[in-house]
Amino acid sequence: MPTVLGLEGSANKVGAGVVRDGAVLSNRRATYVTPPGHGFAPGPTGRHHRAVVLGLVRAALSEAGVEPRDLDGVAFTKGPGMGSPLAVVAAVARTLAQLWGRPLLAVNHCLGHIEMGRALGPAPDPLVLYVSGGNTQVIAYARRRYRILGETLDVAVGNCIDRLARLLQIPNAPSPGYNVEQLAKRGRRLVPLPYVVKGLDVSFSGLLSHLQAVTPKLLESGEATPEDLCFSLQETAFAMLAEVTERALALTRARHLLLVGGVACNHRLQEMLQSMCRARGAELCPVDDRYCIDNGAMIAQAGCEMLRVGQVTELSQSGITQRYRTDEVEVMWRD
Is 195 in contact with 240 (CB distance < 8 Å)?
Answer: yes
What is the arithmetic mean of pLDDT over 263-290? 97
Crossing angle (nearest 10°) for helices 226-252 and 205-221 = 160
pLDDT, residue 151, reads: 98
Q: What is the pLDDT of residues 132-158, one digit of tens each?
A: 999 999 999 999 999 999 999 999 999
Decide: helix, strand or coil at residue 247. Answer: helix
Region 91-115: mean pLDDT is: 98
pTM: 0.97
- Please count the other Cβ atoms lying within 10 Å of the Cβ belonging to residue 62: 13
Residue 239 parent element (H or E): helix 226-252
Which residues, including other chains, have CB under 8 Å from residue 87's CB and lie 6 or more apart? 46, 320
Q: Is the pLDDT of residue 228 over 90?
A: yes
Q: Is the pLDDT of residue 92 over 90?
A: yes
What digits encode the pLDDT tens for the residues 20-75? 999 999 999 999 999 999 999 999 999 999 999 999 999 999 999 999 999 999 99
Q: Quick count: other Cβ atoms within 10 Å of Cβ 307?
A: 21
Q: Give, in order, the Cα–Cα distances in Å from 4 to each of 20, 26, 209.
A: 7, 11, 43
Choose between 201 and 122: higher pLDDT: 201
**Residues in a beta bridge with 146:** 141
Distance between CA atoms of residues 134 and 147, nearest Å: 18
The pairing of beta strand 256-260 with beta strand 283-286: parallel
Label each residue of 36-53 as H, E or C.
CCCCCCHHHHHHHHHHHH
| DSSP secondary structure letters along 167-202 | HTT---SS-HHHHHHHHHTT---------EEETTEE
The pairs formed by 46-52 with CB atoms below 8 angstroms and a separation of 24 or more are 46/82, 46/83, 46/84, 46/85, 46/87, 46/88, 47/84, 48/12, 48/14, 49/9, 49/14, 49/85, 49/88, 49/89, 50/88, 52/14
pLDDT over threshold 80, residue 301: yes
At residue 121 the predicted structure's pLDDT band, cuts being 50, 70 and 90, is confident
| 85 contacts: CB under 8 Å, gap ≥ 6 | 9, 10, 11, 12, 14, 42, 45, 46, 49
Answer whether 258's CB lies under 8 Å from 273's CB: no
Query: How many whole angstroms separate alpha carbon 111 and alpha carbon 333?
Result: 12
What's the pLDDT at 335? Answer: 85
Q: What is the mean pLDDT of residues 283-311?
A: 97
Q: Residue 1 pLDDT > 80, yes or no?
A: no
